[in-house]
Amino acid sequence: MKTTRRGFLGHSAALPIAYGVSLPLAGQALAASPADTEDYRAIVCVFMHGGNDHDNTIVPMDSANFASYQLYRGSLAYHANELKIGGNDIRVGNNQLLTNVYGGPARPLSQLPLVGAGQVARNASLDGRQFSLSPTLSSLHSKYQDGKLAVLLNIGTLVQPMVKSEFYNRQVKRPPQIGSHNDQTAYWQSGGIEGFSVGWGGRIGDLIAAQNGRPAFTCVSVSGNTVMLAGREVLQYQVKESGPINFTPLRSAFGSDTVGNALGQLITDTELTPQQMMGREHARITTRAIDSGDQLREALALTPESDMFPPSQPFTAGLKNSTGGLGRQLAMVARVIHARKHLGLKRQVFFVSIGNFDNHSGLAGVHPGQTQTVADAMSAFHDWSVYAGLGNNVTTFTGSEFGRQIVSNGNGSDHGWGSHQLVLGGAVNGGHVYGIAPSFVSTQATRFDNSDHLFSSGVMIPTTPVEQLAAQLATWMGVENAADMLLNLANFSARPDPLRSLLQG
């Protein structure tokens, strides 16, 4: 049963913890947007919580660096020509052999090249470096070949450019608590310290919300509360994989209509005295949450899921079944995007996430399945966008609080700093590797001593700040002077932006 505000007051409802919305929408009728809906753009952040192991995601494949990769990784290293990791077959999911991925068979490193002999990376000086997607990312290789997927090398949290000697001598500012999950997640998503209340996705939302008929749906999370989508004006709207968060009647819990009515009146009563400021604000937000949920629920109901996800289309299984929770999150993003015409939406920022990337131990048994889930879900979601006629309108990118050390701890990899990321979409100038990654070629005795961007453990000092990715995405979304919203971007203005041609249009 649909939960209207009147119904809520009559039957009572529980207030979910996560209910962020922006700008009042009460009383607005659900109607098609008068806006030109072809002028639509969305960015989707796929965040990998725990710190993704980038060296087993984007693998160095030139002979010298691959030899070092095998040396320092040991039993964690993928084989070049076989679907093996260490001395064992690659296993994913419920201990299943990696044989197939979304869209076809899994392939070994040698069949998944990103930069080959004679090729030049976009905006990068690779000095003969070559890379491959890991076997678990096989489903994305055709996207790279088609120019829809780009790989970003050694991107991470920075305050200003830095080399190893400057780090040791404390000559330049550095992000807080490098290696701390909470601090680095907050910094990656906001450019600020842990607990910083505004994220760069939310700042984009602040600057594009006026283009939307219903601004409450500018920033949408399908993965709970996140700093990434918190703006100064626009709050994130949170949905579940199944749809809007319901205000479940409490009568079944307490067995009393009187209690339900009283609670409903308390949490939606905006006629409180000036001294009851917090209560009034709480009631105002609750009322908006109920109304917005009703509007989204009605918009989603206008198109049955079976029409959006036909059984005959491979992306249907890719989003709804085989890729698990992340696929279902992206399926919900697809449904909200599909409802854009009815909600009057032209610009949106989405957030989804997946965990279990903190692989200090058991990396060879866990990480392959996690990265396959990410790759298959992203690939299926892009295929849906193409099917929906929105292939050029939706850009998906990955993020993670930090990378890992290339030097194995024997059973896994420990916290790092810089990492490699992916950007996928029809507007991406793909088929290119962007940025610079340090060489791993070194002896055990002099491990990385001569490298400006590698510590002895193989932790990479980032060469591209997250803010440069944020600026490219913001500009593509139509934000003018994106540098004004990013705290540290000006610190990198003296050198060319390695991501300057990442997106087109």
Mind listing the pLDDT tens digit for each residue in 454-476? 999 999 999 999 999 999 999 99
Please give the pLDDT value at position 290: 78
Q: What is the pLDDT of residue 279?
A: 67
DSSP line for 179-216:
T-HHHHHHHHHHSS-TT-S--HHHHHHHHHGGGSSSGG
Q: Residue 497, by phi and psi: left (phi above 0), alpha (psi -120 to 50) or beta?
A: beta
Average pLDDT value for residue range 65-94: 96
pLDDT score at 93? 87
Is the pLDDT higher at 311 or at 17?
311
At residue 8, does pLDDT exceed 80? no
Mean pLDDT of the chain: 86
Distance CA(374)–CA(426), nearest Å, equals 18
- Is the model more confident about 159 or about 320? 159
Instruction: Report the alpha-carbon distance of residue 158 to residue 489 in Å, rounded.
Output: 10
Q: What is the pLDDT of residues 221-253, one digit of tens each?
A: 999 999 999 999 998 999 999 999 876 554 444
Query: How would residue 375 be classed by pLDDT, with cut points 50, 70 and 90?
Result: very high
**Overall average pLDDT of the 299-303 stretch:** 93
Q: What does the chain come to in residues? A: 505
Strand ranges, E, within 62-179: 84-85, 88-89, 91-92, 96-97, 100-101, 104-105, 131-133, 149-156
Residue 5 banded pLDDT, cuts 50, 70, 90: very low
Per-residue pLDDT at 280 exceeds 80:
no
Query: What local confidence, expressed as pLDDT, does residue 273 receive?
Result: 56
Between 274 and 285, whose confidence is greater?
Answer: 285
Distance CA 429, CA 152 (A): 12
How do residues 305-344 score in pLDDT, each as one tens digit?
989 999 999 999 999 875 569 999 999 999 999 999 999 9
Lowest mean per-residue pLDDT among 71-80, 275-284, 348-357: 275-284
Cα separations in angstroms, 157 against 139, 185, 316, 357: 28, 9, 35, 18
Q: How far is CA 396 from CA 307, 334, 354, 385, in A?
A: 23, 12, 14, 11
Read off the pLDDT of each residue in 124-129 and give the average, rounded to a whole number.
70
- Tell me the one-letter amino acid at 503: L
For the cut 60, the answer to whether the pLDDT of residue 106 exceeds it is yes
SS3 of residue 462 by DSSP: coil
What's the pLDDT score for residue 321? 74
